[in-house]
Each structure stands twice: as C-alpha cells, then as structure tokens.
Amino acid sequence: MTTRFKQRIKGQVYKAFYFINKLSNLLYPRTCVECEQDIGSEERDAIFCASCATQLVHLSGPVCFVCSAPFVSEAATSHSPSHRCGECRENPPLFLKAITPFLYEGPLSTAICQFKYKKKPHLAAPLARLIANDLSNISTDYVMAIPLHSFRLRGREFNQSLLLARQIGITLSLPYFVDVMIRTRETPPQVGLSRKERDENIKGAFKVTQPNAIQDRRILLIDDVYTTGATLKEGARTLMRAGAKEVIVATIARMPAATF
C-alpha cells in the first residue's frame, strides 16, 4: 500500500469520525448540567459550560492533614503542616487520609444530584475524571466503593459509588473490587442527623465477605460526597479490622460544614 493511499484512507476515516461526532451532537446535544446551555462540540468530555466550570470550588487552602476539612485561617497549618482538626483529634478515623477536593455546592452539587437521583450514570466518567488529578499521587492496590444495601439498590437501580470507583479504577489503571464488602443492614438516611447520630446510625452496617482479598492490601475507598465522614469512617474501620493494610478514602466533593 502506498503512503499516499494510506493517507487518503486516514483522511476518509477522520472525515467519517468528524461527521459521526457532528451527527451525535445533533441527535444528542450536549448541554451544561447546571444551566442547560449548549456546551459545543469542542469540549468532548465536559459536563459544564465554561461559565459554570469556573464556579467549581477546589479546596486548595489549608486543610486537616487527615480528613481534609478546610481550616478558616492559615495559622492552623503554618507551624505544623500535619495539623489535625478537632474531630480527627477527638475521634481519630481508621483511614490514613480523606481526599475530598471540591466543595459540594453550585454546579457540582447539581451534577452529583443528577448522577445519583435522576439516574444519569453516564456522569460517572466525567465526575471521576474531575478528581483523578487529586488521586494521581496516592499509592494503593485496589479501588472499592461504599456498598449500598440491596433494598436501596432496587430503588435507585445502580450504586453511584460503585460506578465512580470503576471509573476511577479505569482512569488510574487500578483494579477494583466488587462485593468484597457488603452492607448487612439498611440504615435510615443520614440527612438531618447530628454527627453523633450519624456515627451511631451507620455502626456495624458493613461486613467484609472475602477477607483474603483485602489482607495486607492498601485500599482506596470511594463514596460520592463527604459530609461528616461517618459512612467512610465505618467503611475504613470494617476494612482495617478485617485485615487491610491501609485505607485511603476519596469523594468528589465535601459538604460545607455549616450545612450539617
């Protein structure tokens, strides 16, 4: 095959892809999840328009060394970079670190709500990509999700944390575990409960079904939103007690402290 012929075929393939892309944009116009404006065909994987994307709040200031809770002033970490928040000192979690890069508000809270409650599982990949940078430096063996009880799963049809964990695994080239930890009992929703009530509510809700799979492993445990951390703390506690070597937890976003 001559080089010229190869180039011609290559050109035809590109043209075909271009038209398929145009056609799919025409048939399924991609709109911003927040303001519903057309995003345009340039940003292939974007879920926010340029204006809404600027409203995402990435937590880049001083944060708790363990749970990443933002501190109000630089003073807390200026002399001691490993400074812990009051909650982590009083009630130390069994996870090594929580990575919660964005604030749960504005366009990101809309996207997470649509993903979770409006049955839009296709948002898992773009949401996972959003936090991939913040997870790129961690060392871990496996990705896992906070399990949903089968009762809740029936109502929602999919476990949003599992879809996120799978996408994060793909993005970071890490294997992910399914059904190694299950939820043994349904817990009432955590919304509206105090920090202490949340801890009590979730206590003993998980069980590791295959302890051999996690023995001496470093695990990245995924949930969608970090509120008080009660669910992730209980998940990490269950995994550590079953023999895991280390647990790091990660969520896309963190609930502002004033809202719970």
Residues in the site for Zn ion, rule: CB under 5 A?
32, 34-35, 49, 52, 64, 66-67, 69, 85, 88
Q: How far is the CB of 134 from Zn ion (least distance, A)?
A: 17
Crossing angle of the two packed helices 124-135 and 160-172, in degrees rounded to 10: 50
Q: How far is the CB of 105 from Zn ion (least distance, A)?
A: 15
Q: How far is the CB of 146 from Zn ion (least distance, A)?
A: 19
Are the beta carbons of 132 and 171 closer than 8 angstroms? yes
Q: How far is the CB of 71 from Zn ion (least distance, A)?
A: 9
Beginning with the edge strand found earlier in the chain, give each strand of the sheet holding 102-103 in spatial order.
102-103, 253-254, 225-226
Give 164's contacts (C-beta < 8 A, 6+ positions apart): 124, 127, 128, 145, 222, 224, 252
Q: Which letter does DSSP use for residue 258 in this model? A: G
Q: How far is the CB of 35 from Zn ion (least distance, A)?
A: 3
* Element (DSSP H or E) covering residue 236: helix 230-241
Facing residues of 221 across strands? 144, 249
**Identity of the residue numbered 238:** T
Name which of 52 and 242 has its Cβ closer to Zn ion: 52
Q: Which token pair is 25?
A: 């944009």
Q: How far is the CB of 63 from Zn ion (least distance, A)?
A: 8
135/46 Cα distance (integer angstroms) = 19
Name which of 67 and 99 has its Cβ closer to Zn ion: 67
Name which of 54 and 136 has its Cβ closer to Zn ion: 54
Nearest residue to 146 via CA among 129, 124, 120, 165 = 165
